[in-house]
Amino acid sequence: MDVTGMQVIATAGHVDHGKSTLVRALTGMEPDRWEEERRRGLTIDLGFAWTTLPSGRRLAVVDVPGHERFVGNMLAGVGSVPAALVVVAADDGWSAQTAEHVAVLDALGVRHALLAVTKADLADPGPVLADVRERLAGTSMGAVPGVAVSAPTGRGVPELAASLEALLAGLPAPDRDAPVRLWVDRAFPVKGAGTVVTGTLAAGRVAAGDRLTLGGREVGVRGVHSLGRPVERAEATARVALNLRGTSVEEVARGDALLTPGAFRDTGELDVTLAREVDDRLPAEVVVHVGSAAVAARLRPLEGSAVRLRLAAPLPLRVGDRLLLRDPGARRVHGADVRDVDPPELRRRGAARRRAEELAARPDGAAGAAAELARRRFVRAQDFAAMGWSVPPDAATVGPWLLAPGLVDELAAALPGIVARYRQLRPLEPGPPVAVARRALELPDDELVPAAVRPPLALREGRVVAATAGLPGPVQRVVDAVRARLAADPFAAPDAEELRAAGLGPRELAAAVRDGQLVRIADGVYLAPGVAEQARARLAAVPAPFTLSQARSAWGTSRRVAVPLMEWLDARGVTERLPDSTRRLRSSPG
């Protein structure tokens, strides 16, 4: 069975305002998991319950603690949830802890919420409904519908369920094709099953047999449960419990994330922009909350609302994620949107200000991705997607790399000058090796260089060469003389002394070979191109099998040339050496 069509909400509100009691009345389940919680009537950790609404819609509820001492646990519960149920008691009204929870929802950018005024049997709920709705109107939640309810008597519970139906029907559809990033909010052992983790699946889908990464290593999903039942597959949005294969409970904890392999990159430094500008000084140290994770961070203001964060431990973040920055000392929270998970270094004077201006000018969406690729010039496609960017349609693709639009043309225009300068410094070489060209073009990988090679340039034997590349004039004249001699007598290779006397040292000879004007048979033995065909033609007139002496006579050359030439022909498959050291021509040379 697959699980789809579920919605998940989280409660929010002050301790003693009846959140857990309301969840029990709505679902018939006890959200408090610990005996101490039930004994004290105080929610300490996250609670979970679920129900099927009258329409058949399945609803899971994450019940969070309302006491100020457990705000960290509260944040772990609301981080992955798309909607909130704000609970305020009619006999107490708005409180400091209500304000803190609402500030959290506002900082997280929660736009879908419902207000429940509880204990309507103890006081008139009207004034509290009006007051709280007015306060919420100035937050990200906007105009929030409200319901008065008395959980012990059941008054208003049907109306609350109907209002939840309307709220959930208006939630945006989750992206079920997105990669999985399941923030773990519980991890516990189950006898006979191993380690089980739970979380809110906000996007994507997960099934038994899937492979996910946890802390940089792959783990297997043995089984999937949702709403207390085993399922074959769960799709967002859903509360899920995953049975992990080969993972001990000590290896996973709240705040860890199970990820689609390769779809996210861990980052320890990132640039964000605050959702709202702050008038007073920002703290130097904050706690960053995302999903169920909480990580300490150093904060560096750039300018305006732009901030750089250095995390105490890396997190799998993407561009567009909403973070919550909490100042524990001042009990203040700030919403922040992730703008770059691989930011540039800030080394020079004024770099922070220029970076802030750059972030402010960069648009969102596809235009922002294009601007980011233009800034980076090149990036691996998988890394770019893992950062959270979409691939611009006009980006160039070279192997695993993305190149900014127009960059290939820019590189191709620069490469001829690089080749020309290289040949000026090294006239005996036809052009720079690919690695040298790559460094001159300031590219990260040799495999990008061929994309910039256009006529009259070409790639030859690992170098970028010009089609008109040749030898320096004096060297060319000597090579022409040698080739004229070989044209008259193809196997009369000049000896080493003759070559040196003519001005052809090792470097000049190597250049002539690279340029295709001479063929190196062995050290000190150089002949003209086409010598293999000429040697074969003369041997064809010799009865097979033939000896080295017969071959030397057919070629009309010395033993100094004949011995290496015969071995050279053997290596190229022109001739075949027989057990008695005679040779014969192969019927199909090469």
Residues 13, 128 within the same domain? yes
Residues 35, 139 within the same domain? yes
Compute the distance between CA of residue 158 and CA of residue 560 in angstroms, rounded to an integer: 106
Residue-wise pLDDT for 88-140, tens only, equals: 999 999 998 899 889 989 999 999 999 999 999 999 999 999 999 999 999 99
Residues 115, 139 within the same domain? yes
Residues 127, 188 within the same domain? no
Q: Is residue 236 part of a domain?
A: yes
The token pair at 225 is 């449960």
Q: Is residue 74 part of a domain?
A: yes
Residue 239, domain CATH: 2.40.30.10
Q: Which amino acid is at 114?
A: L
Residue in 563, 552, 554 with CA at minimum distance from that of residue 524: 563
Where among 361, 390, 423 does a domain terminate?
Answer: 361
Q: Domain tally for the chain?
A: 5
Would you call 536 helix, strand, or coil by DSSP?
helix
Q: Which amino acid is at 541?
A: A
Residues 254, 269 within the same domain? no
311-350 in b/e burial notation, b at 16+ Cβ within 10 A? Answer: beeebbbbbebbbbbbbeeeebbbbbbbbbbbbeebeeee
Residues 537, 574 within the same domain? yes
The token pair at 228 is 């207390």
Residues 462, 337 within the same domain? no
Residues 512, 576 within the same domain? yes
Predicted confidence at residue 53, as pLDDT, reads: 92
Q: Is residue 33 part of a domain?
A: yes
φ, ψ at 304 (rounded to 5°): 65, -125
Q: Is residue 343 part of a domain?
A: yes
Looking up tokens 């071995």, which residue turns up? 567
Residue-wise pLDDT for 184-217, tens only, equals: 988 989 887 789 999 999 999 999 999 999 998 9
Predicted confidence at residue 44, as pLDDT, reads: 41
Q: For residue 192, list its beta bridge partners.
A: none
φ, ψ at 358 (rounded to 5°): -60, -45
Compute the distance between CA of residue 569 and CA of residue 567 in angstroms, rounded to an integer: 5
Q: Is residue 563 part of a domain?
A: yes
Burial class (CB in 10 A: 0-12, 13-18, 19+), 198: buried
pTM of the complete model: 0.80
Residues 121, 137 within the same domain? yes
Where among 170, 200, 221 does a domain terminate?
Answer: 170
- Within 8 A by CB and 6+ apart from 218, the residues are 211, 212, 261
Q: Is residue 383 part of a domain?
A: no
Note the maximum CA span of the chain. 122
Domain that holds residue 277: 265-361
Q: Is residue 395 part of a domain?
A: no
Residues 191, 162 within the same domain? no
Q: Is residue 390 part of a domain?
A: no
Angle of CA points 449, 454, 458, to nearest 5°: 75
Q: For residue 306, list its beta bridge partners.
A: 273, 303
Predicted confidence at residue 37, as pLDDT, reads: 35
Q: Answer whether 408's CB lies under 8 Å from 434's CB.
A: no
> How many CA atoms, within 13 angstroms, populate the side-chain half-sphere of residue 499?
22
Residues 16, 64 within the same domain? yes
Residues 292, 245 within the same domain? no
Low-confidence spans in the chain with pLDDT less than 70: 1-5, 31-45, 65-72, 77, 467-469, 588-590
The token pair at 237 is 């949005």
Compute the distance between CA of residue 359 and CA of residue 120 in angstroms, rounded to an integer: 49
Where among 259, 282, 301 does a domain terminate?
Answer: 259
- Using alpha carbons, list the distances in angstroms from residue 21 to 43, 89, 491, 520: 11, 12, 103, 91
